[in-house]
Structure 1
Amino acid sequence: MSKLSEMKGHSMVAGLWGKKIGMTQLFAEDKVIPVTAINVGHWVVTNIKTEVRDGYNAVQVGLVKERYVQEQFSAEWLKKTKNYFVFLREIKQDDAVAGLDIGQTLDCASVLNLGDKVNLTGATIGRGFAGGVKRYNFRGGCASHGSKLGRKPGSASFFRAEGKVIKGKRLPGHMGVKQRFMESLEVVHIDQGAAVVLVKGSVPGKGGSLVFMQKA
């Protein structure tokens, strides 16, 4: 079987998984376009799920570890997925998938075209435990005359709540790692050789985080 880097398929999948590289800019005529670079290479079909067997239609794909990119795909990879794949993800389909084989590398050119509008899903950057000032942009308390309440959240309840904290109260806690959905981002460049897609605008997450793209 061909090496992963040489396998190209006309995949009929509904979207693409990729890893965010970071932001850069493109120069077009007299303007500058801010873009986000997303690496969509080395995703291999590891399973094809059908409604008859699994209850829904989907394509399971895996991101091959860098050390195995140039090696030939074998059935052993599917038995020890943690050894050969960084991530395993699914792409749900409306209908049964045709024209895909297990071990086939997804080709970004068969899913996306230059100028397409894509909807993109990603997770925001994690900030750990954060107080109300950082998490919700609270103004904070007085910062003069010896006050010690500058960044404290203040009262958490009142007598009508019967001593309970009302659901939805904005308090210190974990910040970030929230799923965000971006609509209608334009594909401004596709580097098929490097398997890199440039989309206009910013994308949730930090460099190396997973994002999912599908046509708007």
Structure 2
Amino acid sequence: MSISSLSSSFSSLTLKPSNPNLHGNPTTLHSSFIPFYKIPIPKPLSLPQSHSSAPISATYEAGVGVMGTKLGMMSYFEPSGEVVPVTVVGFREGNIVTQVKTEATDGYSAVQVGYRRVRDRKLTKPEMGHLEKSGIIPLRHLQEFRLEKVDGFEPNQRLVFDELFKEGDLVDVSGTTIGKGFQGGIKRHNFKRGLMTHGSKSHRQLGSIGAGTTPGRVYKGKKMPGRMGGTKTKIRKLKIVKIDNELRIVMIKGALPGKPGNLLRITPAKIVGVNIPKN
């Protein structure tokens, strides 16, 4: 086919509008015109959400726990003559269930426990109202123990340590460590010091902290001098050596966080395959 025949065929081709009312009628064209900002935007597809999601076992405690006060450390002699370093934990008035939370009322299951009785003027009016709702004495500390089931717990129920734990049980103890202020790299991160002789000019300095041109900066998380201690920590799987109901104390093997007088949170130890599923 030649170029002249193609041009003649295109010249004879006429375009017809899809809507006959719009042809040759500018008024109709203006009335049926829709601006782009008025065009409805289709809504995104919403996927069905599953409400039966399995709970994450790591967020749950292995059982309800108690709060105590660190008294200090001492040496305990086993009947066999072995010397065991222990931390003595005492219990003031408290460890009372102040609230029981369920899936129906709060969306999750937990037991709130109060510890250490104080005067009324030491608490705010909202705190006093929360405790007076269940007829509970004024308590300084309130903490929650999230459980899968809260059957058998009720407000104003007193928790006794020897009923929850036995000698030989393993517990997890959490508390606030002793604050040591601003410290250098040797004390804070156990760095080695430089030579003290032979012209060394780097005794306790940090040393090189990175390259110059590349990357030209210090990476985040670099171990450097800074504030040490004063943070919350948890020590796991500590053994209960002795429970003395007369003195209202318990001896736990090893060192616990904080100084004497520090608040401690004692819970049953999480052991995979025993009270936590392997998956």
TM-score (norm 2): 0.61
Change (3 A) 1:96 1:152: same
Paired position in structure 2 for 1:32: 83
Change (3 A) 1:143 1:89: same
Residue number among 152, 158, 161 corresponding to 1:105 in the alignment: 158
Paired position in structure 1 for 2:169: 116
Letter in 2 for 1:35: V
**In structure 1, the residue corresponding to 2:141 is in which secondary structure?**
strand
Shift of 1:175: 0.8
Q: C-alpha separation between the residues in 1 aligned to 2:126 and 2:192?
A: 57
Letter in 2 for 1:119: D
Change (3 A) 1:93 1:21: same
Structure 2 residue ranges without an equivalent (≥5): 1-62, 132-136, 270-279
- 8 Å Cα contact 2:111/2:150 also seen in 1: no
Change (3 A) 1:182 1:64: closer
Q: C-alpha separation between the residues in 2 aligned to 1:215 and 1:88?
A: 18
- 8 Å Cα contact 2:64/2:111 also seen in 1: no
Change (3 A) 1:113 1:127: same
Shift of 1:155: 2.8
Structure 1 residue ranges without an equivalent (≥5): 1-12, 69-74
Shift of 1:160: 5.5
Instruction: Determine if the alignment matches structure 1 residue 169 to structure 2 residue 249.
Output: no
Shift of 1:187: 1.4
Letter in 1 for 2:211: F
Letter in 2 for 1:122: G
TM-score (norm 1): 0.76
Q: C-alpha separation between the residues in 1 aligned to 2:115 and 2:69?
A: 10
Shift of 1:164: 1.3
Paired position in structure 2 for 1:212: 265
User: Percent of aligned positions with the same letter in both sequences?
Assistant: 37
| Count of aligned positions | 196
Letter in 1 for 2:98: T
Q: C-alpha separation between the residues in 1 aligned to 2:256 and 2:167?
A: 18
**Structure ranking higher on relative contact order (CA contacts 8 Å, 6+ apart):** 1
Shift of 1:145: 6.3
- 8 Å Cα contact 2:100/2:150 also seen in 1: no
Change (3 A) 1:163 1:117: same
Which structure features the higher share of strand residues?
1
Instruction: Determine if the alignment matches structure 1 residue 89 to structure 2 residue 143.
Output: yes
Kindly provide the CA deviation profile for residues 9-68 of structure 1, in whole angstroms up to 9, marking residues without a partner as x. Answer: xxxx62222221111122223222221111234222222211222121111122233568
**In structure 2, the residue corresponding to 1:159 is in which secondary structure?**
coil
**In structure 2, the residue corresponding to 1:79 is in which secondary structure?**
helix
Indicate the structure (1 or 2) with the bigger Cα radius of gyration. 2
- 8 Å Cα contact 2:184/2:226 also seen in 1: yes
> What is the RMSD computed on CA atoms of the aligned residues?
2.8
Shift of 1:80: 7.4
